[in-house]
Amino acid sequence: MTETVLPSSVAPVFEEVIRRNPGEREFHQAVREVLESLGPVVVKHPEYADAEVIRRLCEPERQIIFRVPWTDDAGRVQLNRGFRVEFNSALGPFKGGLRFHPSVYLGIVKFLGFEQIFKNSLTGLPIGGGKGGSDFDPKGRSEAEIMRFCQSFMTELYRHLGEHTDVPAGDIGVGTREIGYLFGQYKRITNRYESGVLTGKGLTWGGSQVRTEATGYGAVFFVNEILRTTGETLEGKRVVVSGSGNVAIYAIEKVHDLGGRVIACSDSNGYVVDEAGIDLELLKEIKNGARGRMSDYAARRDGAVYVTGGSVWDVACEVALPCATQNELDEHGAATLIAGGCRVVAEGANMPTTPGAVRVLRAAGVRFAPGKAVNAGGVSTSALEMQQNASRDSWSFEYTENRLAEIMRSIHDRCLETADEYGTPGDYVAGANIAGFTRVADAMLALGLV
Ligand code: GLU
């Protein structure tokens, strides 16, 4: 499918982004996707163009790239590259996760940081946007190696952080364990127990209830709201989830809580079809305990089939939740989903659907909701963790989950109201981009040329 044409008011900005950031393919994709929605906004608000708000938004406030040396268990020196892109702090301290994965380079960190600005804005909470990470591959590394890597990473990064400056959290390859080592090293270097400097902490050392579950739960709360607009629920629905990491696991849990049935999930080697519904206890045991693979799940579960060819999108379903990684659902996957009767696609991961796949889905009338709205539950709960840290308080699971559900409802409604206001009713992409953008843009105007 051919690319859509960018509104002429924003096309020069995109050209400049390509020129200034050569080779950063994912960053270009993320910028383009937002700019495509902004034509009507520029027409309605000439003040944004006068202040060059869109150009300024596309240029990070600060980008940090650093060397991360560490020694492996054999005593050999290893070297990785660390990144933190502090993208926009008009709404609050830079906020966004750290990703440890071999695919990480500046273009990935910038795409994630750019998305994070709008996502964080949509939450309505006081958080700016940023992202970081490293090309470090945690796969096959021992506990001690992970700890030494985290300590080296933080030994450089700490000087750029602070509860009022920049607050990282987890992402792919970074969970509570890594946040623990990072927090420990930050505390040691600064001699401060500054709880609010990182989120995703453990429950005994300043973490929040529901933070672990939040991205997956939040995504399913969002799906519930989408279905509610047509009087439907998840009850009895066949759902396919890609991935089997933190987001996928808790999305599956919440779908099951709400009466749906997740019949397939995946990892980077293959996928499992389990018509009886994914056995979550077994999945958690395999993934969290031994950090195993989906093939291990199939080997231990009667009736489950492990498939290595094709993709998880070959499994017929009514609702699909891509919860693995960027660009995992392409045009072919989208066409197969449609043929299998899929009516709703909601992104649990960041930018998992290619632009071509989005066009295919929308042309077929599938309701499509973008990650910056659907997966905002994770960072929202991070903001709730910051609130608890600031007041030295800790809330109950039930109270925190209710707050999360409320936030997801309001993000959903804000997307639809904004889509209506700008003449594209039902368009979650335009609604999320425009609502996210205008809140940041207004704050940038108010703060002057900084
Ligand atoms: N990495 C997550 C995201 O993509 C969470 C960020 C956070 O909690 O700061 O939104």
261 and 336 share a domain?
Answer: yes
Q: Calculate the alpha carbon distances from 97 to 167, 171, 189, 229, 240 in Å.
A: 8, 5, 21, 32, 26
Q: Whose CA is nearest to atom 8 of ligand 1?
A: 379
Among 193, 227, 256, identify where a domain stops.
193
180 and 304 share a domain?
Answer: no
Q: Which atom of ligand 1 is nearest to the CA of 170?
A: 1
Ligand 1 centroid to residue 169 C-alpha, Å: 6
Region for 328 from its dihedrals, namely left if φ exceeds 0, alpha if ψ lies in -120 to 50, beta otherwise = alpha
73 and 157 share a domain?
Answer: yes
Is residue 202 situated within a structural domain?
no
b/e sequence 424-440, b meaning 16+ C-beta within 10 Å: beebbbbbbbbbbbbbb
pLDDT digits (tens, 9 = 90+) for 342-359: 999 999 999 999 999 999
pLDDT for 31 beyond 80: yes
Is residue 281 situated within a structural domain?
yes
Is residue 274 situated within a structural domain?
yes
- CA dihedral 46→41→446→29, nearest 10 degrees, is -120
Residue from 88, 167, 171 whose mutation best tests the ligand 1 pocket (most atoms within 8 A of CB): 171
Ligand 1 centroid to residue 368 C-alpha, Å: 21
Residue from 116, 350, 381, 400 whose mutation best tests the ligand 1 pocket (most atoms within 8 A of CB): 116
Ligand 1 centroid to residue 276 C-alpha, Å: 32
Beta-sheet strands, E only, within 135-223 = 166-169
pLDDT for 136 beyond 90: yes
Q: What is the mean pLDDT of residues 233-247?
A: 97
The reply to whether 131 belongs to the active site is yes
267 and 124 share a domain?
Answer: no
Ligand 1 centroid to residue 96 C-alpha, Å: 5
Angstrom distance (rounded) from CA 397 to CA 74: 43
Is residue 264 situated within a structural domain?
yes
Angstrom distance (rounded) from CA 90 to CA 127: 8
Is residue 7 situated within a structural domain?
no
319 and 267 share a domain?
Answer: yes
In what helix (H) or strand (E) does residue 78 lie, and over which residues does it extend?
A: strand 77-88
- The CATH number given to whatever domain includes residue 315 is 3.40.50.720
223 and 85 share a domain?
Answer: no
Which among 196, 157, 153 has a CA at the least distance from the CA of 178? 153
Which among 133, 110, 130 has a CA at the least distance from the CA of 121? 130
* Catalytic residue selected from 95, 110, 119, 131: 131
187 and 218 share a domain?
Answer: no
> What is the residue range of 120's domain?
62-193
pLDDT of residue 292: 85
- Is residue 361 a contact partner of residue 353, using CB atoms and an 8 Å limit? yes
**Tokens of residue 173, six digits:** 């390859």
166 and 219 share a domain?
Answer: no
Q: Which atom of ligand 1 is nearest to the CA of 120?
A: 10
> Which residues does residue 79 pair with via DSSP β-bridges, in sequence order?
69
183 and 143 share a domain?
Answer: yes
pLDDT band at residue 2 under the 50/70/90 scheme: low
State the amino acid at position 288 in one-letter form. Answer: N
CA angle 136, 120, 398 (to 5 degrees): 95
Is residue 72 situated within a structural domain?
yes
Ligand 1 centroid to residue 112 C-alpha, Å: 9
pLDDT digits (tens, 9 = 90+) for 150-189: 999 999 999 999 999 999 999 999 999 999 999 999 999 9
pLDDT of residue 289: 72
292 and 251 share a domain?
Answer: yes
Residue given tokens 């660009």 in the structure block: 327
pLDDT of residue 183: 99
pLDDT band at residue 366 under the 50/70/90 scheme: very high
Region for 262 from its dihedrals, namely left if φ exceeds 0, alpha if ψ lies in -120 to 50, beta otherwise = beta
- Coil, strand or helix: which one is 270? coil
The set of protein residues with a Cβ atom below 6 angstroms from ligand 1 is 95-97, 119, 169, 171, 199, 350, 378-379, 382
Is residue 431 situated within a structural domain?
no
What percent of the chain shows pLDDT beyond 70? 99
Q: Whose CA is nearest to atom 10 of ligand 1?
A: 379
Number of domains in the chain: 2
109 and 152 share a domain?
Answer: yes
Among 365, 389, 421, identify where a domain stops.
365
pLDDT for 272 beyond 80: yes
Angstrom distance (rounded) from CA 416 to CA 371: 15
Among 159, 193, 227, identify where a domain stops.
193
Strands 271-273 and 261-266: antiparallel
Angstrom distance (rounded) from CA 223 to CA 368: 10
pLDDT digits (tens, 9 = 90+) for 395-421: 999 999 999 999 999 999 999 999 999
Angstrom distance (rounded) from CA 255 to CA 280: 11
Q: Is residue 22 classed exposed, middle or buried when 0-12, 13-18 and 19+ CB atoms within 10 A define those classes? A: exposed
pLDDT for 118 beyond 80: yes
pLDDT band at residue 1 under the 50/70/90 scheme: low
- The CATH number given to whatever domain includes residue 99 is 3.40.50.10860
Q: Which atom of ligand 1 is nearest to the CA of 171?
A: 1
270 and 355 share a domain?
Answer: yes
b/e sequence 63-96, b meaning 16+ C-beta within 10 Å: bbebebebeeeeeeebebebbbbbbbbbbbbbbb
Is residue 302 situated within a structural domain?
yes
Ligand 1 centroid to residue 301 C-alpha, Å: 32
> Which residues does residue 320 pair with via DSSP β-bridges, in sequence order?
240, 345
